[in-house]
Amino acid sequence: MKCALVLCAMVALSECFQTVPLIKGKSARESLEEQGLWEMYRHKFPYNAAAKFDQQFYGNEPMTNDFDLAYFGVISIGTPPQSFSVIFDSGSSNLWIPSVYCSSAACKNHQKFNPGLSSTFRNSGKSLSISYGTGSMKGFLGYDTVEVGGIQIRNQIFGLSQSEAPFMAHMKADGILGLAYPRLSASGATPVFDNMMSQHLINQDIFSVYLSRNSAAGSEVTFGGVDPQHYTGQITWIPLSSEMYWQITVDSITINGRVVACQGGCQAIVDTGTSLIAGPQADIASMNSAVGATGQNGDNMVNCNNIGSLPEIIFNIHGHAFTLPASAYIRQSQYYGCRTGFQGGDNLWILGDVFIREYYTIFSRAQNMVGLAQSR
């Protein structure tokens, strides 16, 4: 069900952004005040709350935008560090990378971790198997120091692949760093963000994602805070309906005031690891029909000359309207023409990168909420 991967060509690791040092920005209290959450935190931590939240570091990790299809950044694992590009995936929970023990074709064009070169590596003795919508991996679990966004997480459990499905060869990133809840984690492995929290490496138990448009630079994930430079207006906070994926309730999807999908409400996950917006086949067909798209070879095409006159699509969530203009939901290619960013799937909706590019997204483990604000 979960489409954590997208089809993309190979890229050299040197083309990825390098990990940046831990940075000190505005205090967490100032950030919380901007988000309208300071009073909530102040009452939750009544003793010396101001001092607690005025002293905090957070980590920014730049991401490469691969033609608006996938976003990935660079992490390091081991002592001395070995670098890998990973997709930061809010739709899964495991961290894994290829290992030197993998002989699959998919491993041959990616960086591979060598445990023998790390003085801090420890084998867990447990196996790992993960299946995604477009690929799978098998291997084993180990522990080592992981650095992401300048934050060092000690004794982080992670997967080392020994075999990967052929599709993985088309990934530009080496591996995946899952950011969903522990309940979703294969083999009970503790997710990276949970260890950030338990090791007190961040005071705000949140991470935030900005995805750039049109292959532009500037995409980033921020651990422990938000970056006001990436959004405008107020943050709308939406409570989770389930704490496994980042799952929320959508009230309806409308065009020109008419419900075209999600009649009576539906469940959706906010997923940085999926390129498109996915939903039940009948609903997706209704949305494509409403914008005048016609099916061609499995794609839903529109006339590129008509983009300016196509309607806005409104996702009504928790009493708020989140608008997607045609410029957001139509994908333009000089080779393939203009296609919608909607894909038929299972009953659980997936609000992937097509949606997140329009709305700066804050994932709060502290309050089990998702925050959405208009991206700049």
pLDDT tens-place values along the chain, 376 residues long: 454 443 332 232 222 322 233 333 445 555 556 666 655 555 544 434 443 444 457 899 999 999 999 999 999 999 999 999 999 999 999 999 999 999 999 999 999 999 999 999 999 999 999 998 778 999 999 999 999 999 999 999 999 999 999 989 999 999 999 999 999 999 999 999 999 999 999 989 999 999 999 999 999 999 999 999 999 999 999 999 999 999 999 999 999 999 999 999 999 999 999 999 999 999 999 999 999 999 887 889 999 999 999 999 999 999 999 999 999 999 998 888 999 999 998 899 999 999 999 999 999 999 999 999 999 9
Q: Is 346 a catalytic residue?
A: no
pLDDT value of position 51: 39
Residue 49's pLDDT is what?
Answer: 40
Give the CATH fold of the 228-375 domain: Cathepsin D, subunit A; domain 1 (2.40.70)
Q: Which of 89, 144, 174, 283 is catalytic?
A: 89
Q: Say which of 66, 144, 194, 271 is annotated catalytic.
A: 271
* Cα angle value 42/46/51 (rounded, 5°): 75
Which helix (DSSP H) or strand (DSSP E) does residue 43 occupy? helix 38-44
Cα dist from 370 to 64, 157, 167, whole Å:
23, 26, 31
* Residue 271 known to be catalytic: yes
Instruction: Write the CB contacts of 18 (distance below 8 Å, at least 6 apart in sequence).
Output: 62, 74
Residues of the chain with CATH 2.40.70.10: 13-23+58-223, 228-375
Q: What is the pTM of this model?
A: 0.86
- Its CATH class, for the domain covering 13-23+58-223, is mainly beta
Residue with tokens 């997480």, as numbered in its chain: 153
What's the pLDDT score for residue 298? 81
Measured distance CA(8)–CA(17) in Å, rounded:
18
Pairing of strands 246-250, 242-243: antiparallel
Q: Give the SS3 label for residue 5.
A: coil
pLDDT at 156: 98
Q: What is the pLDDT of residue 367?
A: 97
Which residues lie below 8 Å from residue 46, measured CB to CB, with a gap of 6+? none
Task: In whole angstroms, give the CA distance from residue 293 to residue 277.
Answer: 15
